[in-house]
Structure 1
């Protein structure tokens, strides 16, 4: 049994403590990005595939999601950089009718680990409500998550609105749609397609180097 199948079994059993213990054995201070990409993400994809094949019920999938959410919260409570007064700001949300949110929480955790001030709005957020928060918070980066291909027109509308914001924030598009579909037509000097957390981390580190070089 591969590593993510073992973790999936613990998630489907609702076994939070053993799941945390299992991940803690990956090293004395496990790298969160490694845990997200090598364990949690493939585990939840595996569980999703089980559900699609009717090998588990909706209730099983919901239980596994809840356990994964708990694990993410525990990992996010690990030591991270202090948020400075003038820290860069990121605002993250999933588009309307998108219920997937675990990947978005991993993105929020990654930004926090680098000392960003993060506002996580969760999934299934209508554009008008998202824009209210965006205009109030005025983030440097807006992260948008989408998974389902039939929501592509909604994603296009969201990007067009965000690209017109007067202070020119960077818009990052992620989620399963970014991994499985060619979204290059949406990309621009202000809109980036981010396929995984390694790419996100590389972008954050490059952005910090640019800031330090000009300060």
Structure 2
């Protein structure tokens, strides 16, 4: 069976561009010929979601991560539901991939590839019910005192709120974890739930950058320096550079020297940076399963450069691929504190 799955995955890889084009064409035909008002709500975002879902499928097929596909589908259903795109739009996405696969790839490979999609299609009402419950739970949680000033881009008020959190939590690292990271997560969730405008998300992002810069200056090396250096980056192709910035600030406060590569660097450049800086640890943010092969490539390139540092990843995609990453000597951290402990050589799962 595994032989057939591998062969099916290779065929999917070879036909991916064609399959993706067919999926997008079918979705556009639905818009053009059926004039469905509910499909006009997501608009071209549905095309982007269809392409991203295809990249997730490629990782799932290649690495036999069918269970992780379920989690990704629940997350996507939550986004579709909160944005008002609806279950039918997600059905269109799944059906388009299913039809493209069955119409392009020969049997029996097409049947192996289509099976998980057909299972998701059958479970879609339950997936959306779980997504709505998840969104409702998030709506019921209390907001961080940082949230309102962040969404207004009110830096002076945000600094006052941060000072209150510093008095409450005492240590600067806890301010980052309990204050800034929590607020960042809330901003992300509000975007997922379509409850804030794009400009508000941008205001919040820039205000957080300023807060983090202030923290570094305020708590410069409050603990003895460890003599260790960390290299921090998004996974290749990922442009969400705020988490690496927050992690660098956290590590510097904990006594590390942290170098931030930001986002969108290819694996080759991350590996060259590792060769030049010889870090004790390389941290990669890994937000979606579609980046899995980029993360694995980065690890291979770093090792090819003769660098033997610990490689630590975190994020939703990392959790979904935890077992596979572990087999490839890549450590998975649930949060900043666990990442710090792993970088220090502590076996947090003992």
Residue 91 of structure 2: aligned partner = none
Take 1:71 and 1:121, find their aligned partners in 2: how far apart are those partners?
19
- Structure 2 SS opposite 1:26: helix
- Cα RMSD for the two superposed structures: 2.7
Structure of larger gyration radius: 2
Asked if the contact 1:168–1:190 (Cα under 8 Å) also holds between the matched residues in 2, the reply is: no
Equivalent of residue 201 in structure 2, options 61, 68, 72: 61
How many matched pairs?
205
Shift, 1:94, TM fit: 0.8
Residue 202 of structure 1: aligned partner = 341
Shift, 1:206, TM fit: 5.4
Take 2:188 and 2:275, find their aligned partners in 1: how far apart are those partners?
35
Equivalent of residue 71 in structure 1, options 211, 217, 233: 211
Asked if the contact 2:166–2:172 (Cα under 8 Å) also holds between the matched residues in 1, the reply is: no
Asked if the contact 2:150–2:208 (Cα under 8 Å) also holds between the matched residues in 1, the reply is: yes
1:117-196 to 2 correspondences below 5 Å: 117-178=257-318, 180-187=319-326, 190-196=329-335
Shift, 1:165, TM fit: 4.3
Asked if the contact 1:3–1:39 (Cα under 8 Å) also holds between the matched residues in 2, the reply is: no
Residue 38 of structure 1: aligned partner = 178
Are residues 125 and 108 of structure 1, via their aligned partners in 2, closer, same or farther at CA, if it must alter by over 3 Å? same
Asked if the contact 2:236–2:265 (Cα under 8 Å) also holds between the matched residues in 1, the reply is: yes
Take 1:64 and 1:85, find their aligned partners in 2: how far apart are those partners?
31
- Structure 1 SS opposite 2:294: helix
Gaps of 5+ in 2: 1-140
Q: Which moved more, 1:157-166 or 1:33-42?
A: 157-166
Asked if the contact 1:24–1:30 (Cα under 8 Å) also holds between the matched residues in 2, the reply is: no
Take 2:252 and 2:166, find their aligned partners in 1: how far apart are those partners?
21
TM-score after normalising by structure 2: 0.53
Asked if the contact 2:235–2:295 (Cα under 8 Å) also holds between the matched residues in 1, the reply is: yes
Are residues 34 and 57 of structure 1, via their aligned partners in 2, closer, same or farther at CA, if it must alter by over 3 Å? same
Residue 90 of structure 2: aligned partner = none
Take 2:158 and 2:288, find their aligned partners in 1: how far apart are those partners?
28
Are residues 172 and 19 of structure 1, via their aligned partners in 2, closer, same or farther at CA, if it must alter by over 3 Å? same
Asked if the contact 2:173–2:254 (Cα under 8 Å) also holds between the matched residues in 1, the reply is: no
Take 2:337 and 2:148, find their aligned partners in 1: how far apart are those partners?
26
- Structure 1 SS opposite 2:262: coil
Are residues 137 and 72 of structure 1, via their aligned partners in 2, closer, same or farther at CA, if it must alter by over 3 Å? same
Shift, 1:51, TM fit: 1.6
Residue 235 of structure 2: aligned partner = 95
Shift, 1:15, TM fit: 0.6
Are residues 202 and 134 of structure 1, via their aligned partners in 2, closer, same or farther at CA, if it must alter by over 3 Å? closer
- Structure 2 SS opposite 1:100: coil
Residue 221 of structure 2: aligned partner = 81
TM-score after normalising by structure 1: 0.82
Higher helix share: 2
Shift, 1:18, TM fit: 0.7
